Amino acid sequence: MKIYKAKDYADMSRKAANILSAQVIMKPDCVLGLATGSTPIGVYNQLVEWYNKGDIDFAQVRTVNLDEYCGLSPDNVHSYAYFMRKYLFDRVNISLSNTNIPDGLAENGELECIRYDKVIQKLGGVDMQLLGLGHDGHIGFNEPEEAFEKSTHVAVLKPETRQANQRFFGEGEEVPTQAITMGIKSIMQARKILLIVSGEDKAAILARALEGPVTPRIPASILQLHNDVTVVADTAALSFIKS
Ligand code: F6R
């Protein structure tokens, strides 16, 4: 596992964007696994800036997103489909038909999960998976459990996760209670993983994930078993790491 220390959020975003853009340069038709949330926004802004300068080309890039809320349509401003268009897809030359996000409106969640795993398989797997880290150690919406959930599944969101995500929703607007998420196995099958973490509030969980025992109680701890993980985190987030 390589850990790159960034000065602050802006530096973390630039460093992580550099790694993603190197991936796109080396394999223009690569499959990027993408994340939402506040952590990757700076990364996407940086990629858009480089795209505008002509330094990165998304024409052949394919993407799969980690997760989507159940019950939200792609036009709902709180959906992850909307987020991805807003921060990346509508700002670069990616073909929307090359982008994949679980269907939050699928009538049958279980069938949608099976369909999504097949999509990833058909793409030949993920070349580089971008991940953020939840305060409880979740990756995607793989919440702390007694056992690792393997493939794409419908996850019931923990109250803490719903509370953490309330900041994206308006007053009186409910955060959905369920989401479709790629599972731990799908994430671990990515050829490379890029974990980005920022802020003091993530320092304790980052240390437990990277240096503590591997346990489904801290889903991100499974990353210790992957052979190509790069962590880009700022000084604040790395403040509890011993090594
Ligand atoms: C988002 C996702 C989540 C977030 C995590 C951290 O697609 O899968 O695991 O990465 O909740 O969110 P932020 O970056 O908002 O702290």
Place of tokens 């993530």: 202
- At 171-225, the pLDDT tens digits run 888 899 999 999 999 999 999 999 999 999 999 999 999 999 999 999 999 999 9
First to last CA, the chain: 12
How deeply is 10 buried, as exposed, middle or buried, from its count of CB atoms within 10 A (0-12, 13-18, 19+)?
middle
Q: Which residue has the tokens 């962590």?
A: 231
Over residues 98-111, the pLDDT tens digits come to 999 999 999 999 99
- 99-100 sheet: strands from edge to edge: 2-6, 229-234, 192-197, 128-131, 31-34, 62-65, 99-100
Residue 243 pLDDT > 80: no
8-state DSSP, 142 = B
Q: What token pair was written down for 59?
A: 């024409």
* CA 140–ligand 1 middle distance (angstroms): 7
pLDDT at residue 157 greater than cutoff 80:
yes
Mutate to test the pocket of ligand 1, among 39, 135, 193 (most ligand atoms within 8 A of CB): 39
39/25 Cα distance (integer angstroms): 23
State the average pLDDT for the chain: 96
pLDDT band at 149 (very low <50, low <70, confident <90, very high): confident
Q: Of ligand 1's atoms, which has the minimum distance to the CA of residue 138?
A: 9
Verify whether ligand 1 is closer than 6 Å to residue 132 (CB atom): yes
Tell whether the model's pLDDT for residue 160 goes beyond 90: no
Cβ(35) – ligand 1 distance below 6 Å: yes
Q: What are the residue numbers of the active site? A: 67, 136, 138, 143
Average pLDDT over residues 151-176: 90
Cα 203 to middle of ligand 1, angstroms? 15
Tens of pLDDT, residue by residue over 65-87, are 999 999 999 999 999 999 999 99
Q: Looking at ligand 1, which residue's alpha carbon is closest to its atom 12?
A: 37
Confidence of residue 164 (pLDDT cuts 50, 70, 90): confident
pLDDT at 232 over 80: yes
Ligand 1 centroid vs 49 CA: distance in angstroms?
23
Residue 135 CA to ligand 1 center (angstroms) comes to 9
The CB of 104 under 6 Å from ligand 1? The reply is: no
Ligand 1 centroid to residue 197 C-alpha, Å: 10
Cβ density class 64-78: b for 16+ within 10 Å, e for less:
bbbbbbbebeeeeeb
Whether ligand 1 lies within 6 angstroms of the CB of 202 is answered as no
Which DSSP symbol is given to 139?
A: B
Q: Is the CB of 37 under 6 A from ligand 1?
A: yes
Helices 9-26 and 41-52: angle between axes, nearest 10 degrees = 50
**Token pair belonging to 107:** 């009538």
pLDDT of res. 47: 98
Based on the number of CB atoms within 10 Å of its own CB, is 144 exposed (0-12), middle (13-18) or buried (19 or more)?
middle
Which ligand 1 atom sits nearest the alpha carbon of residue 161? 11
- Percent of the chain's residues with pLDDT above 90: 92
Q: In testing the pocket of ligand 1, which one of 138, 181, 205 has its CB within 8 Å of the most ligand atoms?
A: 138
Q: Which of 138, 47, 152 is nearest to 109 (CA)?
A: 152
d(CA 151, CA 153): 6
Widest distance between CA atoms in the chain? 47
Helix crossing, 41-52 with 80-87: angle to 10°? 40
